[in-house]
Structure 1
Amino acid sequence: MPQASDRHPIRTSDDVVRIRQLVRAAALQAGLSLVDQTKIITAASELARNTLDHGGGGDAEVQFLQEGVRKGVRIAFEDHGPGIPDIDRALQPGFTTGRGMGLGLGGARQLSNEFSISSEVGRGTRIVIARWK
């Protein structure tokens, strides 16, 4: 059953760093391996940066998960920015606008066990990722 989570604003670069720290703490709590910690932290960092740079800021929810003996971490990013006009193109391997780490959405998807995205032009974007032990 998912544990309680809080919304954390993403308004500045310092907020992106804070999200990384929160994800790291949740990944440690879930007992993820160093490799899996690195994957989810990297994906979360890219998505937090996208939320700031492309979405004009937004919020993230970092959640420690436990379903029976299975543990993990889930992060939801939400903004009210311009949205993504072509999600399929944005998910293409190597697609980037050149302002992030170069992973793009496709890279974040590959680093996660679960990935979902919904976006509406002019209304914003919501992306949810998870990594399980």
Structure 2
Amino acid sequence: MLNHWVPVGDMGVMLSMRFEGLDPTKPFVDATPMSRSPRTTDLPALATAALKAYGIHHPRYLRLWSAEPRIRGTHPDRRFLAAPVSELQPRDVPPELALTRAASVDHYDEAQRAYDAVDAAHP
């Protein structure tokens, strides 16, 4: 399914349809990337946009990606830390996170082209 870059209030959001574990009975909408971190006041508009784009699939929830530690009205399911490994210091990594090596880089160039295309279209 196509991703949708949509305006939600004063921010832009890329919405995409996903399925937990690729199980078609567990649909959800992914909201990533966003032009800024979401706030609690954005949640109703984000939910409305997600349902407008993908409501036909009856998504069970909206997954948000944010650097904020907490957004009232949501609950965290996972935390990820992204930075060049050379810049990470052990003291900066929260105890509940771990660094994991990628299994391969076979699709790195393909992924880089995809990110470059999004960046070019939505600087």
Answer 1 or 2: which has greater strand percent.
1
Q: How high is the TM-score relative to the length of structure 1?
A: 0.27
Q: How high is the TM-score relative to the length of structure 2?
A: 0.29
- Greater Cα radius of gyration, structure 1 or 2: 2
Higher relative contact order (CA 8 A, sep 6+): 1
